[in-house]
Amino acid sequence: MQDIQDVYDERGREIRSHGSALFPAAQYSANLSERSIAWHWHDEFEVGYVTQGCVHLDVGSQHVELRAGEGFFINLGVLHAFSAVPGSPGRQNSIVFGSSLIEGRTDSVFWQRYIKPVAAAGSMPAMFFGLQEAWHAEAVRALDGAWCALREQAPEYELTVRYLLSHFLYLLTEHLPEETEDNSGRAMRENERIKLMLRYIQEHFAEPMTTEDIARSAMISASECLRCFHSAIGTTPIQYSKQYRIIKASHLLQTTDLKITEIGEQCGFHDMSYFAKTFREIQGCSPGEYRRQIHA
């Protein structure tokens, strides 16, 4: 997997290519016990399901735990993050695909009936699929079929993938939540502010920063910054910056032979006892124990 810093633009949008211009869809398998996926967003839909253990999914201010067999949908341009639930394997399969795979062009019936209603649903940044409702199970079966077809790439697999993802979107359009224009506009403004502030933290994580510094990146007050973080992703800006630094430190512990003190300093921790304490709070073990577990 590419480094976090290598796949985002100046607004925090993921710039990795998913598939190709001819067929804009790609399948992924993630072991979240080894590495979490930090807050980010992209211009494509993301869908997936848990294959083993339990996965923690953050989508804006929604925080859910999904078990094996349960699935998810993340709308266009919506901030999200994934991590394993402590003590659980936390594996998932996902597909990231552009709307053009289904719609063809924006004046088509596919855009009007199946893409536009979903993409424009401001009150539906995400949807989650459990094990009880029949249409939820049908949706996850469609995702699993599409994921397997992408992996195997048998003859005419493109038609299979397009059909199954189209069927999945049809199920969504049949179960869209009601929304108000006021709620939709407020959510969009908040989403854009959060994107700016998260990108500031990701660019300056190795430096000292305050809530005021983060707020200035979105041209809002510190109190509005705190409210926005609490509403959008359920934490404070300083707590998020700590989590992001630990994600970066974990990656360096996995992929380099740097000393733990050097890693701490590169990730903005100049007090090693505070680094160890923060690392344990978030990862459940010390940096040294984490490195030994990864390389065992």
Assign 286 to helix, strand or coil.
coil
**Which two structure tokens, joined as six digits, stand for 181?**
């224009």
Q: Which segment of 37-41, 152-156, 225-229, 261-265 scores lowest on mean pLDDT?
A: 37-41
CATH superfamily for domain 182-294: Homeodomain-like (1.10.10.60)
Q: Is the pLDDT of residue 138 over 50?
A: yes
Kindly list the domain boundaries of the chain, sorted by start residue: 4-173, 182-294
Burial call 12-22: b when 16+ CB within 10 Å, e when fewer: bebeeebbeee
Using CA atoms, how far apart are residues 136 and 34, in angstroms rounded to an integer?
A: 29
pLDDT at residue number 9: 52
Containing 149, the helix (H) or strand (E) segment is helix 134-152
Q: What share of the chain in percent tops pLDDT 70?
A: 89
As a whole number of angstroms, the distance between CA 233 and CA 190 comes to: 10
Label residue 54 by pLDDT band (50, 70, 90). very high
pLDDT confidence band for 3 (50 / 70 / 90): very low
Backbone torsions φ then ψ of 162, nearest 5 degrees: -65, -40
Residue 81's φ and ψ, nearest 5 degrees, are: -150, 150
Q: How high does pLDDT run on average in the chain?
A: 86
- The pLDDT assigned to 4 comes to 35
233 pLDDT above the threshold of 90: no
pLDDT in the model for residue 8 = 52
Q: Are 79 and 198 in contact (CB under 8 A)?
A: yes
Evaluate whether 201 touches 214 at the Cβ level (below 8 Å): yes
* Average of per-residue pLDDT across 246-259: 90
Nearest to 194 by CA among 150, 234, 158: 234
Edge-to-edge strand list for the sheet holding 80-84? 37-40, 80-84, 54-59, 62-67
Q: pLDDT digit string (tens) for 154-188?
A: 999 999 999 999 999 999 999 887 754 555 566 67
Rounded to the nearest angstrom, the gap between the alpha carbon of residue 282 and the centroid of all alpha carbons in its chain is 18
pLDDT in tens, 58-117: 887 788 999 999 999 999 888 888 988 888 889 999 999 999 898 876 667 887 888 888
DSSP 8-state assignment for residue 104: S
pLDDT at 15: 56
172 contacts 125 by C-beta, under 8 angstroms: no
Q: Residue 119's pLDDT is what?
A: 80
Segment 16-44, tens digit of pLDDT: 678 888 899 999 999 998 888 888 888 89
* Residue 88 main-chain phi, psi, to 5 deg: -120, 150
Q: Is the pTM of this model over 0.85?
A: no
Query: pLDDT value at position 5?
Result: 38
Paired strand residues for 66: 55
Q: Which CATH architecture has domain 4-173?
A: Sandwich (2.60)
pLDDT in the model for residue 121: 67
pLDDT digits (tens, 9 = 90+) for 179-204: 545 555 666 777 788 888 988 998 99
Averaged pLDDT, 198-226: 92
Sign of the CA dihedral with 287 first, then 80, 227, and 198 last: positive
**Positive or negative, the Cα torsion across 173, 174, 177, 182?**
positive
The separation between CA 181 and the C-alpha centre of its own chain, rounded to angstroms, equals 25
* pLDDT at residue 273 tops 80: yes
Q: Alpha helix (H) ranges present in 174-271?
A: 181-204, 211-217, 222-233, 237-255, 260-266
Predicted pLDDT at 26: 94
Q: Return the DSSP state at 177.
A: P
Nearest to 214 by CA among 233, 193, 190, 232: 193
